[in-house]
A = this chain, B = another copy of it.
Amino acid sequence: MNEKTTIYDIAKALNVTAATVSRALNNNPKISAATRKLVMETAAKMNYKQNKLALALKSGKSNNVGVVVPYIDRNFFSAIIRGIEEELYPLGYHVIICQTHEQESAEIDNINALLNAQVDGILMSVSKLSTQTSHFEHVLNKNVPLVFFDRKKDVKGVSTVTIDDYQAGYNATKHLIEQGCSKIAHLSGDWALEIYKNRYKGYKQALLDNGITFNKDYVIKTKSDIKAGHKSVEKLMTLETPPDAIFSSSDYVALGAIQQLKKMGVKIPDDFCVIGFSNEPFTKFMELSMSTVDQLPVEMGKMSAKVFLEQVKESNVKIEKKVVLAPNLKIRATSTKK
């Protein structure tokens, strides 16, 4: 009884053609008010639901967008997805999720699968291990809009939405200086990703602008986990002049650093200040709440969605938009001296 009803079923019931039904349902002005009403009512009665697949095939628009992220259960990424979803859902789009686990092969795989599924666009954050760009160009060749958020690669024709990582690094470092710190270390990530490089640049410039000499022993490139924080602190504290503050490019690394510092009996924030990056939920809930940089992921997701929408609207023109959002410094206990 509740089997799928098609426009043909309605047509048969009313002794008209499917074309008429289709037009009536789509409010085509060429249909008489009487038949339109009749069709509408019968459709409702028969519990008709439009088959979006058929529509998609005919129109070439699937009303699906693909979102590719390293992991979906990392707050930063899931919050971005939330933003994307909230922006696109009201317009009838659905979001298809894929994760790469930071593997380039998975990234390529995902992109191909999404293209085969005829998505109307792909929004993504590139994997840490990505080196090639041909799979991105492949997307553009198929005339499918591509938007990078947060982590990007330089590819012509791709729009990007990022925060101003340079500014974020600058602000965080300046804040530490204002707290009276002068020997500020920086825990960074792989510079193959611009975000880490830019945070580093901002850090360096803030030092210079405030008359602090840059010390390259204070900069360590690490993985993004807690252990990396432990190890980095161990290394830093054996230096001849150990630092008195850390600006970390990752909240997890900052957390590890704090744990290790406490273990070593260093007093935070009085003798040592720490600031992380990403505003992961846990930072707020720590006994000593952690200062960090909020990247406004939900906003970033919404903005990515908007950029995508502009792109589909002006499908004739090739737009390459670069949106840069302002980061938001969250000053909390780990960097607030009394």
Residues of A within 8 A of B (CB): 1-4, 49-54, 56-57, 62-64, 71-73, 75, 78-79, 81-82, 85-86, 89, 92, 94-99, 112-118, 138, 141-142, 255, 280-282, 285-288, 298
Contact = CB atoms under 8 A, between A and B. Distances in A.
A262 B286 CA distance: 13
A49 B286 contact: no
Nearest to A50: B116
A138 B49 CA distance: 12
Nearest to A82: B73
B82 A72 contact: yes
Given A51-B57, A94-B117, 8 more contacts: A1-B141, A72-B85, A75-B75, A82-B99, A94-B96, A94-B98, A95-B97, A281-B281
Given A51-B116, A96-B95, A73 B78 contact: yes
Nearest to A113: B94
Given A73-B79, A85-B97, A95-B96, A49 B112 contact: yes
Contact of A54 (B49, B57, B75, B79): B57
Contacts of A1: 141
Nearest to A284: B282
28 contacts: A1-B141, A2-B138, A2-B141, A3-B142, A49-B112, A49-B116, A51-B57, A52-B116, A72-B72, A73-B78, A73-B81, A75-B75, A75-B78, A78-B78, A82-B99, A85-B97, A92-B113, A94-B98, A94-B113, A94-B114, A280-B281, A281-B281, A282-B285, A282-B286, A285-B286, A286-B287, A287-B287, A287-B288
Contacts of A53: 53, 56-57, 62, 117-118
